[in-house]
């Protein structure tokens, strides 16, 4: 049975890929909605990008709700990793469906409270929307099955030496979500930097022969130099794609129980995720699990398989 999900994101080319993977698996994911947040780019751009990805995927049945414009405290720190549009390199269809009228936070609350099954949250941007929803109505915690989050780092950050981008954008929300006691699986930079779209893998994407894969290849090609020059990677890290891949194929990931502390004090370590895997630091009943490794080759092959589904559906 497909699991009910809300996909909260800030597209972003890696969010775009993550969405396309999840949309290609209706047997696994029952999309209740997509919610957007300011992160990689402003919320008006992330919302438009989400609509365009739905159009590209032929999934205009999925409603999109715009969410938080700024973090819980302070102003947003944009990065240029995805280009000015958030999906630089892509040529996507104009969306025919409009944004929904409701705010993302209200949609999250109403949907989780009313749904008959516990809802799984896929979270690939700053955690502002879900933190606001928990604060506004803590009763939703009773009907959330799990958070699967891209964020944090056990080693170095990617926006500052100490902090990963999503957590740096809104560490107060990250702290609220990660301390609420809901089962959480975290994809940190330590694992997402293992899943790279290299130039040879871009060729593999183009060999699929459908527009969805071509547009992902375009985005990766347009922005790959950012990761090559800044982090010494062999291509473009597809961070957020780890979230749906993990749910679809958890056997490809090594996951361990962990303790985490998010640094919210202003200073050099602002947004840092202090993660310990030592048994002595774990709570009696751990709810947080951190992925430490991924079988990157198998994960990429699975990714190719999901993008090929768009060719089958077209026929």
d(CA 121, CA 66): 16
239 is catalytic: yes
| CB within 8 Å of 253: residues ≥ 6 apart | 191, 242, 246, 291, 293, 294, 295
Say if CB 260 and CB 288 are below 8 A apart.
Answer: yes
70, 82, 103, 239: which is the annotated catalytic residue?
A: 239
Contact by Cβ (8 Å): 243, 254: no
Distance between CA atoms of residues 64 and 45, nearest Å: 13
Q: What is the DSSP letter of 256?
A: E
Q: Which of 162, 223, 166 is nearest to 9 (CA)?
A: 166
CB 150 within 8 A of CB 238: no
Residues 6+ apart with CB under 8 A from 111: 6, 32, 33, 119
37 secondary structure, DSSP code: -
Q: What is the Cα–Cα distance from 207 to 252, expressed in whole angstroms?
A: 24
SS3 for 193? Answer: coil
Task: Select from 52, 113, 289 the least CA-distant residue to 191.
Answer: 289
CA nearest 128: which of 300, 6, 9? 9
- Active-site positions read 239
């Amino acid at each position: 049975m497909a699991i009910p999900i809300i996909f909260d994101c800030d597209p972003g080319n890696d969010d775009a890929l993550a969405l396309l993977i999840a949309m290609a698996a209706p047997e696994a994911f029952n999309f209740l909605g997509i919610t957007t947040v300011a992160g990689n780019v402003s919320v008006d751009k992330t919302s438009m990008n989400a609509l365009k990805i739905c159009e590209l995927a032929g999934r205009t049945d999925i409603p999109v709700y715009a969410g938080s414009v700024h973090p819980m405290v302070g102003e947003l720190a944009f990065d240029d990793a995805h280009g000015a549009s958030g999906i630089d390199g892509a040529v996507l269809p104009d969306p025919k469906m409009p944004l929904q009228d409701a705010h993302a936070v209200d949609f999250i609350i109403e949907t989780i409270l009313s749904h008959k099954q516990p809802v799984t949250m896929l979270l690939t941007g700053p955690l502002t929307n879900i933190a606001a929803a928990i604060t506004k109505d803590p009763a939703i915690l009773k009907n959330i099955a799990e958070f699967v989050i891209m964020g944090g780092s056990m080693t170095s950050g990617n926006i500052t030496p100490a902090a990963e981008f999503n957590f740096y954008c809104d560490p107060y929300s990250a702290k609220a979500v990660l301390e609420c006691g809901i089962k959480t699986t975290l994809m940190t930079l330590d694992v997402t930097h293992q899943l790279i779209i290299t130039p040879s893998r871009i060729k593999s994407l183009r060999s699929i022969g459908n527009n969805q894969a071509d547009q992902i290849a375009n985005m990766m090609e347009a922005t790959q130099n950012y990761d090559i020059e800044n982090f010494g990677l062999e291509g473009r890290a597809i961070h957020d794609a780890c979230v749906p891949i993990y749910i679809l194929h958890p056997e490809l990931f090594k996951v361990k129980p962990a303790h985490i502390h998010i640094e919210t004090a202003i200073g050099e370590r602002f947004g840092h995720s202090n993660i310990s895997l030592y048994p002595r630091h774990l709570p009696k009943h751990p709810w947080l699990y951190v992925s430490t490794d991924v079988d990157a080759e198998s994960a990429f092959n699975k990714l190719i398989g999901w993008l090929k589904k768009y060719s089958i559906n077209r026929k």
